[in-house]
Amino acid sequence: LRRARACGASLIPTTTGSATAITQIFPELQGKLNGHAIRVPLTNASITDCVFEVERATTAQEVNALLQEAAAVELQGILGYEERPLVSIDYKTDPRSSIIDALSTLVVGGTQVKLYAWYDNEWGYANRTAELALKVGRG
C-alpha cells in the first residue's frame, strides 16, 4: 500500500533486496546484515546509511583515513571519498559505485561506526557492467 500512495510527493519506507543479495557474494555476512530503503521523489543519486559494529575502538578520523586510502589506491575509480558538503544532485552520473561522505562519518561509543555513502545506482552500475564486459572480452 505504501508504494502506491503519492510517490511523487512522499518519502516511502520500503524493503530492499540489497542486504540479501550481498550475502550471495559474501556468504560470511549471512545473518549479520539487514537493510531497508526509503523511496524519495528524486531523479538523481541515492544515499546509503551504513552502521557497523567494529571489534576495537576507533575514531571517525581513523575510519575516514582508511576509506580515503582505499579510494585512492586499491578501489580507485570504484570507491570515492568526499570532504566537500555535497548533495544528491552532485553525484548524478558519477561513475563510481559509492562515494563516502566524510563529513557525516560518526563513531559512537568507540565501536559503532555510521557512514553515508552516495551513489548513482544506474550510472555506477552501468560503469561496473561495462568494465566487466571489457574484462570478459579481453579474456
Query: Domains of the chain (ranges plus CATH)?
Result: 1-41 (no CATH), 44-138 (3.30.360.10)
Are 67 and 130 within 8 A, CB to CB? no
What confidence tens digit (pLDDT) does each residue in 75-100 have? 999 999 999 999 999 999 999 999 99
3-class SS at 2?
helix
- The 10s digit of each residue's pLDDT in 11-69 is 888 888 888 888 888 899 998 888 888 888 887 889 999 999 999 999 999 999 999 99
Q: Look up residue 95 and give its three cell numbers.
A: 561513475
Helices (H) and strands (E) in the chain, counts: 3, 7
Residue 116 grid coordinates: 553515508
Q: Are 119 and 78 in contact (CB under 8 A)?
A: no
